Amino acid sequence: MAGSPPPWRGASAVLATMHGKERAIAPLAARFLGLDVRVAEGLDTDLFGTFSREIERAGTPLDAARAKIAAAFTIDPHARVGIASEGSFGPHPSLPFAALDRELLVLIDRETGLELVGHHATMATNFAHQVVTDAKAGLAFAMKAGFPAHGVIVIGVRDGQPASQLALFKAITTEADLLAALEQAIALTGAAHVETDMRAHRNPRRMRAIRRAMIDLVRRSRSHCPACARPGFAMTGRAHGLPCAWCASPTHLTRAEVWTCEGCGHREERPVSATSADPMHCEDCNP
């Protein structure tokens, strides 16, 4: 990523976070984009959605990130650039028993109107939960998840589902705190829903994923559209149909990467290195 000069050398940027994301984002933004990043002090990003369910996220992750940036600009009206990230966790679409962390990082330059979006998806996450009726079982779950380096949250239970309105404990940093929270939740609701804390400052694995999303954003900032020169020209999909080496029928394998520009809509296909597919992937030759 060294080579081209930082596009925003010396410009100010406001980062919408209350969970320490500046540790993953600010150094890369300074080194590779030339941005002077400061946190939007006093901004409550929980208003845009919480992992612990008190507040549901409205709209998509991109909607939430944009809303955070808009709020950060009101706190720092002189900043040229706004930055925010949003994470989503759930089962892997192809491997339902594996968890997937999807991180999205958005940068908006309000002077030019440019919006860049970085992405990173990883299975290197400890996203998990368990309902327990015994404090020791909850402690065992937490230790397996990496507690105390990785945080956990304890929530009350109603009808087998987490009920944060009945009991919610987030400020858990020691084994004694955890046992006390588990015992209180179990005493109040008969069980405790214990889950990994996915907030960035309590989850080192997620902090690494956010850093990777920022690296992707830096790469996109240096990829310019061949038609309009807008930064952010990136691969947005894959075209399938790599021809079979025997009969030339299209297969389900990728034949080209699809690159698009969000500015002018320019689209191009970049062929993959392979020119044909092994017949084992062909429905005609290997039905």
- The per-residue pLDDT for 2 is 43
239-253 pLDDT tens trace:
999 999 999 999 999
106-136 pLDDT tens trace:
999 999 999 999 999 999 999 999 999 999 9
Pick the closest to residue 72 from 44, 50, 49 (CA basis): 44
The mean per-residue pLDDT over the stretch 265-283 comes to 96
157-187 pLDDT tens trace:
999 999 999 999 999 999 999 999 999 999 9
As a whole number of angstroms, the distance between CA 139 and CA 142 comes to 5
Where does 123-232 show beta strands of DSSP type E? Answer: 129-132, 152-158, 161-169, 192-196
- The per-residue pLDDT for 93 is 86
- State both tokens at 84: 């925010």
- State both tokens at 137: 């079982």
The mean per-residue pLDDT over the stretch 204-221 comes to 97
Structural domain boundaries of the chain? 12-125+203-221, 129-197, 234-281
Does the domain at 129-197 match CATH 3.40.1130? Answer given as: no
The mean per-residue pLDDT over the stretch 183-192 comes to 98
Locus of tokens 């950060």: 72
The mean per-residue pLDDT over the stretch 199-226 comes to 97
The mean per-residue pLDDT over the stretch 64-76 comes to 98
- Vertex 235 angle, CA 230 and 109, to 5°: 35
pTM: 0.91
Orientation of helix 22-33 relative to helix 204-221, angle to 10° = 20
77: left (phi over 0), alpha (psi -120 to 50) or beta: alpha
Phi and psi angles of residue 144, each rounded to the nearest 5 degrees, phi first: -65, -30
How far is C-alpha 174 from the chain's CA centre? Answer: 27
As a whole number of angstroms, the distance between CA 191 and CA 90 comes to 23
- The per-residue pLDDT for 3 is 46
- The per-residue pLDDT for 132 is 98
Q: Is-same-fold flag (12-125+203-221; 129-197)?
A: no
Class of domain 12-125+203-221: alpha beta
- Look up residue 66 and give its amino acid: R
